[in-house]
Structure 1
Amino acid sequence: MTTVTLPGVYTPQDDTDMLVRCLRDELLPQHAAVLDVGTGTGAVALAAARLGARVTAIDISWRAALNAKVNALLARLPIRVERGDLLAPVSGRSFDLILSNPPYVPAPTTACPRRGVARAWDAGHDGRLVLDRICQDAPGLLKPGGVLLVVQSALSGPEESLRRLRTTGLRAEIVEHRCVAFGPVLRSRRGWLRDQGLIEGDAEKEELVIIRAVRLG
């Protein structure tokens, strides 16, 4: 299936692939309502739509929102694409499944970038500026029995994500791991990551994880 990646939009990588694989393992109800938060090119949203889900995709970047719309048209799949800040565009709605591949890379800057491709990955000193908001706000948009699937790096504290999600009443666990080689971004800040105590020595790989959280009842 032909897809495109526009300049300035995050190119699907290992984390996207992990999220799609876990999505395909979910037993979704017929015509499930699915939300893809931080859709980028729309790759995850497209995978959900191919399973017969009713998909809404959100991204704060106008380039990414346009990219997702283009790929939905190319695939002839009916994806609703919204531009907005995380979950704000769908306030008051509820979903069977929420998917997210958010920015999660620890960065020397304290705030998320306001523009440029780096806002697809940089998320403050601990990599949690976006993750914490998802852990706080996503549970309230899940239907009873609904599932949240989120991918992040071990560098950005998966145990903290689990703690926050469990605090909201969700049953949360890590369901997938994968070690991948550092890309250009992590290689370029290896010294800073070492100074922060996030890596040891000349580490060359990071661990990616998928967290699955279920709303009980």
Structure 2
Amino acid sequence: MVTITYRDADIELDEDVYDPAEDSYLLADVAIDVAQDGMSVLEVGAGTGFVSAVLQTNVGVDLVATEISPFAAECAKRNGVVVIRADMFGCFRSGTKFDLILFNPPYLPTAEDEKVPGWLNYAFDGGVDGREAVNRFFEEVTPFLSNGGIILMLISSLTGMDEVKMRMLKQGLEVEICNIDRDCFFEELIVLKGTLKASDQL
């Protein structure tokens, strides 16, 4: 096992789980900037638990995560994250609310011959346009946001930022760009922030 340290959090990695990369670091940094002590936080698709572990090390949040891969869920638990093995929001009762929801989806367009075997494919496969998981997320997320609740989502310039922003606006979210990493070789990484207005609460 390999352990890395970032912003005072020690994260154990696993060969069967997607390793934290530039996207993970960017989302963790933005989450620390946005989160406040006492917030109820959900990370959807926690992977190794990197983002959640870094956030809860630096901010006094009440955090839970979901993760579909059994290997990733166990890895995140070893990293001190409370994880429920579930697909997105399927484990939560109606009426469950979060102040902040984090999501680093599989965001790259993925052809059939680009899929990888096993559970790891869930971390990479964004579908034909890179928005398959993104669209599902926005179909389900709004009822789980508290009044004024915030979403932080990391996408790539290859995902189609305008299309994602339009989807967020249709869900009643006020949208802003929190951060852009332009240092990647073939893409830009973008953290979008969506805030639910109280009048749009479902």
- TM-score, normalised with respect to structure 1: 0.81
Mapped partners of 1:112, 1:85: distance in 2? 19
- Cα separation, partners in 2 of 1:87 and 1:53, compared to 1, 3 Å: same
Q: How far off is 1:60 after superposition?
A: 0.5
Residue in structure 1 matching 2:128, options 104, 125, 128: 125
2:185 corresponds to 1:208: no
Alpha-carbon distance in 1 for matches of 2:32, 2:11 = 19
1:13-162 counterparts in 2 under 5 A? 13-28=21-36, 30-50=37-57, 51-72=59-80, 79-92=81-94, 93-109=96-112, 115-162=118-165
Contact 1:111 1:124 in 2 (8 A): no
What is residue 176 of structure 1 aligned with on the other side?
A: 179
Counterpart Cα distance in 2 of 1:179 and 1:67: 30
d(CA) in 1 for partners of 2:174, 2:116: 32
Give a deviation string over 1:36-84, Cα, whole Å, max 9, x none: 0110010111123221111111110000000000111xxxxxx321011
145-154 vs 156-165, greater mean Cα deviation:
156-165
Shift of 1:24: 1.3
The CA deviation at 1:112 is: 7.5
Q: 1:170 to 1:112 in 2, by over 3 A?
A: farther
In the TM superposition, residue 113 of structure 1 has moved relative to its aligned partner by 6.6
- Identify unmatched segments of 5+ residues in structure 1: 73-78, 182-203
Whether the 8 Å CA contact 2:27–2:154 is kept in 1: the answer is yes
Instruction: Name the % identity.
Output: 31
1:166 and 2:166 aligned: no
What displacement does 1:116 show? Answer: 3.5
Letter in 2 for 1:53: V
**TM-score, normalization by structure 2:** 0.86
- CA-based RMSD of the aligned residues comes to 1.9
Matched residue pairs, number?
Answer: 188
* Structure 2 CA distance for partners of 1:113 and 1:172, relative to 1, 3 Å: farther
Counterpart AA for 1:177:
I
Residue pair 1:5, 1:67 contacting (<8 A) in 2 also: yes
Q: Rg: which structure is higher?
A: 1
Counterpart residue type for residue 211 of structure 1? L
